Structure 1
Amino acid sequence: MIPVLDRYLFRQATLAFLGSLLVLTGVVWITQALREFDVVTAQGQTLWTFFLVTGLALPSLALVVAPVALFGAIIFVLNRLNADSELPIMSSAGVTPWRLMRPLLVLAVMVAVLVGTLSTSAIPASLRQLRDIITQIRADVVVNILREGSFTSMGDGLTVHIRQRTQNNTLLGIFVEDKRDPNQIITYVAERGRVLENDAGTFLVLEQGSLQRKEAQSLDIPMVVFERYAFDLSPLADDGDSVITYKPRERYTAELLMPDPSDELYKAVPGRFRSELHERLASPLYPVAFMFIAFAILGRARTTRQSRATSVLAAITIAFVVRLIGYGATSLAGSSAAAVPLVYLVPIAAVVGSIFVILGGPRRLRLSWRSRRAQEGYA
C-alpha cells in the first residue's frame, strides 16, 4: 500500500512535470515548425508531409525538454509546499528529507527511463525516417523542377515553366527552353504532359506541342510539330535509390556500439561515433541529477519570511553549469577516448554533491570549523 504522503507528492510533481513538458515541447516545436514551413511553401508538399516532418523531430525535442521540465516541476512543487506551510509542517511532524524525496526520486527514475528510451531507440529511428523523407522530397522531380506558375532555372541553361498541375498530375501549359548546348537553343511548347518514371530514367512526356531549334550560326528557326515527345529529365533528378549516408546521430545504438570498420564516415570521424554513443548512454543520468540538485537546495523547510528566490536562482545556475560541463565532456570524448569517463562523472558528481548537501555536510563543516576556532581561542 502506497502511503498517502507519497501519493500526494508524486501526483503534484507528476502533474507539474506533464504540464511543463507539454508547454515547453509545444513552444520549441512551434519554433522548429516555422523553420520547416518551406516544406509546404517552397517545396510544394502537403500539410500532411509538413506535420510528418515536424512530428518526427518531437522525440529529439522531448529529450532536451524532459529533464528541464522535471527540474522546473520539482522546484515549483517544493516552492509551493513551503509557501503553503506544508513543508514546515511535514518537517515538524518528523518527516525526514529522504522520506520527502522518495516520491520525487521515483518520478525522476521514470523520466530517466523515458529519456533513455528516447535517446537509444526512438530518436535514431525518427531521425533516420526524417532523413529518408527529406531525401525523397529532394529527389522528387515534379516538386523541385516542375513548379506551377513559375519559371524555374535548373542551371546549365535549362528553364522550365508549368502553368498548372491538375489533381491527377497532368501538367498544362508547358514551356521548356534548353540552352545547354552552346551551338543551339531548343524551345519546347506543349499543351499538356506528364512525368514518366521507368527503368530507363525520368521523362517529361509532352503532348500536342512543338519545338523550335535555333542554330548559333543560322538565322533560320525551324519548327517541328509533334503529337508526343519525351524530354529526358534524368540528368536533373537526384538518384532516389542512391545510398544514404546517415550521420552518427541517425545511427542505431547497435551501429554505434559495433560500427562497421569499412564505413567511410566512421573511418573519417570515429570520435563522433564515440561521443554520440556515450552521450546517449549518459543522458538518463541528468533527470536524476537535476532532481537531486533541486531538492538539495530547496528541500528544506523555511519560514515564509525567508525569500527563496536566491535559492531558486542558485539551483537553476548549478543545473545549467552541470549540463554545460556535460556537453563539454561529450565534446572532449569525441577528441579523446580518455575523456569518456568524464561524460558519466559529471552527472554522478552532481548527485554525490547534492547528497552531501542533503545530509547537512556544509553545515557540519561550518560547525567543525567554528569549534576548532573556538578551541584555538581558548588555548
Structure 2
Amino acid sequence: MPLVERYIFGLTAKAFIGILVILTAVIWTTQALRELDLVTAKGQTIWIFFAITGLTIPSLSVILAPVALFGAAAWALNRLNGDSEIVVMSAAGVGPGRLLRPLLALALIVSTFVGLMSVWAIPESLRLLRTQLTQVRADVVANILREGQFTRIENNLVVHVRERRGGALLGIFVQDARDAPQEVTYLAERGQIVEERGSTFLVLEDGSVQRRESAGKDPAIVVFQRYAFDLSPFTGASEVTSYKPRERYTSELMSPDANDSAYKAQPGRFRAELHERLVNPLYPVAFMLIAFAALGRPRTTRQSRATAILAAVVAVAATRIAGLGVTNLLVSTAWAVAAVYALPILAGAAALAFAFRRPRAAGPRPGASGPVAAARA
C-alpha cells in the first residue's frame, strides 16, 4: 500500500477504533446499570456482574461498528479537506479511486468483523448469557439468605437464617402461607442448599413442621430429622431451555427442525434472524461509501461542508431505519428477503455513482458579457 494510502488508512482506522470504543462504553454502561440488582439484590459478586453484562458487547458491536466506521470516514475526510490535503493530493494526480482504496480496505475489515460477530459470536454470547442467568436464578436463594434477616422469596413465603457458616445454614425459620388458609412453619437447627438432577432443595435437619389449617385451631406439629423443601419453582433451574431465534446457531437457522415447537410457532422469526445476520456485513461498506460520496471530493476552505455532512447523516439514518423496517417485514412476508439485501447494496451503489460522477463543465451564464461571449459572437 503506497504511503498516501497508508496515511489515510491509519488516520481512519484510529478514528474508527476510538469512536467504536467510546460508543460501546457509553451504551454498555447504560445497559449495565439496569443489571446492578445482580450485585445489590441478588448477592452476586462484581465479577459475575461484569461477566454477564460483558456478554452483551458482541450484540452492541454489530450495531455500532457500521456507525463508527461512517463517523471515522467522515471525520478523516473532513480533516483532510480542512487541511487542504485532498486538494494537494488531487493536484498531484491522486484521483478519487486511490482515496477510496484505503477506506474500502478498512470497510472490508470491519465487514469481516461484523460478519463474525453476527454469524458466530452473538449466538454464542447469548447462549452463554442464558446459562449465566439461569445459574444466577438457581443460586439466588442461597445468596439472598443473609444472616439475621427475614427474606421474602415471594408473596407469603418468608425465610430467616440466624447464621451462615461456610455452606451450612444455622437456625432456619420458614413460613409458607401460599396455600391459604393453611399456614406451614418450618423450624430447623441447621440446613443447606442442595442441587440434584436439575432441582434445588433447602434440606432442613433436626427440626419441626407446624401446620395450622385455620384460625382458632391448634397447630399440628411434626418433628423430623431431615426434610427437603423444594426451591425449584423459585430458581427456574428445572425448566427446559428453549432458545429464542437470536440465540440459535446459524446452522440451526439455515436448517431448522420441522418438529421444533418454537419454529412451528414463529417460522418468520427464524427467517428474519438468519437474513439479518447475513446482511449485517453489507452495512459498513454502504455507510463508508456514503461518507466518501459526501466528502471525498476536494473542497477549499471557503466551501461549506456542513450541508454535505448533514446529507450523509440523513442518508445513513434513513438506510439503517429502512433496513430494520424491511427485516421486520420479513417476519410476515417471505418475498421481502430481496429488499433486505437490495437496500444496503443500492445505497452503496448510489453513493459510489455519486462519488465518481463527472462534474459539469463551467460555462458562461446566459447573457454573460466579456471575452468569452465576444469570442462566441
Distance 1:217 1:13 in 2: 76
CA gap of 1:141–1:13, structure 2 versus 1, over 3 A, is: closer
Distance 2:69 2:241 in 1: 37
TM-score normalised over the length of structure 1: 0.88
Give yes or no for contact 1:145–1:154 (8 Å, CA) kept in 2.
no
> Secondary structure in 1 aligned to 2:40?
coil
1:2-43 Cα deviation digits (max 9, x unpaired): 211111111111111111111111111111110111122222
Distance 2:281 2:41 in 1: 39
1:314-334 Cα deviation digits (max 9, x unpaired): 111111101111111111111
1:198 aligns with 2:196: yes
| Structure 1 residue 360: Cα displacement | 1.6
| Match of residue 73 from structure 2 | 74
Please show how residues 49-68 of structure 1 align to structure 2 within 5 Å. Answer: 49-68=48-67
CA gap of 1:348–1:201, structure 2 versus 1, over 3 A, is: closer
Give yes or no for contact 1:145–1:152 (8 Å, CA) kept in 2.
no
CA gap of 1:88–1:282, structure 2 versus 1, over 3 A, is: same
1:345 aligns with 2:342: yes
| Match of residue 232 from structure 1 | 229
CA gap of 1:271–1:360, structure 2 versus 1, over 3 A, is: same
CA gap of 1:198–1:295, structure 2 versus 1, over 3 A, is: closer
Distance 2:199 2:274 in 1: 40
CA gap of 1:331–1:367, structure 2 versus 1, over 3 A, is: farther
| Match of residue 284 from structure 1 | 281
Of 297, 314, 324, 1:327 maps to 324
Task: Among all aligned residue pairs of Structure 1 and Structure 2, give the percentage whose two residues are the same amino acid.
Answer: 54
Distance 1:235 1:67 in 2: 44
> Secondary structure in 2 aligned to 1:11?
helix
For 1:40, the aligned partner's letter is V
For 2:321, the aligned partner's letter is L
For 1:327, the aligned partner's letter is L
CA gap of 1:302–1:219, structure 2 versus 1, over 3 A, is: same
1:160-199 Cα deviation digits (max 9, x unpaired): 2234434x22223321113345564332233432122335
1:26 aligns with 2:25: yes
Please show how residues 91-240 of structure 1 align to structure 2 within 5 Å. Answer: 91-140=90-139, 142-143=141-142, 146=145, 149-155=149-155, 157-166=156-165, 168-182=166-180, 184-198=182-196, 202-207=200-205, 209-216=207-214, 219-221=217-219, 228-234=225-231, 236-238=233-235, 240=237
Give yes or no for contact 1:210–1:223 (8 Å, CA) kept in 2.
yes
Give yes or no for contact 1:203–1:230 (8 Å, CA) kept in 2.
no
| Match of residue 43 from structure 1 | 42
TM-score normalised over the length of structure 2: 0.88
For 1:192, the aligned partner's letter is R
For 1:301, the aligned partner's letter is P
Instruction: Kindly report structure 1 stretches of 4+ aligned residues shifted beyond 6 Å.
Output: none
For 1:129, the aligned partner's letter is L
Please show how residues 287-302 of structure 1 align to structure 2 within 5 Å. Answer: 287-302=284-299
> Secondary structure in 2 aligned to 1:140?
helix
1:340-376 Cα deviation digits (max 9, x unpaired): 0100110111111112111226x45x989x99xxxxx
CA gap of 1:292–1:172, structure 2 versus 1, over 3 A, is: same
Give yes or no for contact 2:5–2:101 (8 Å, CA) kept in 1.
yes
Distance 2:91 2:152 in 1: 76
Distance 1:77 1:200 in 2: 55
CA gap of 1:234–1:36, structure 2 versus 1, over 3 A, is: closer
| Match of residue 257 from structure 1 | 254
1:214-249 Cα deviation digits (max 9, x unpaired): 4537543565666x3314215634452542111111
Distance 1:214 1:241 in 2: 30
Give yes or no for contact 1:210–1:225 (8 Å, CA) kept in 2.
yes
| Match of residue 357 from structure 1 | 354
Give yes or no for contact 2:137–2:236 (8 Å, CA) kept in 1.
no
> Secondary structure in 1 aligned to 2:167?
coil
Distance 2:354 2:311 in 1: 14
Distance 1:52 1:200 in 2: 23
Structure 1 residue runs without a partner (length 5+): 372-379
| Match of residue 372 from structure 2 | none
Structure 2 residue runs without a partner (length 5+): 367-377
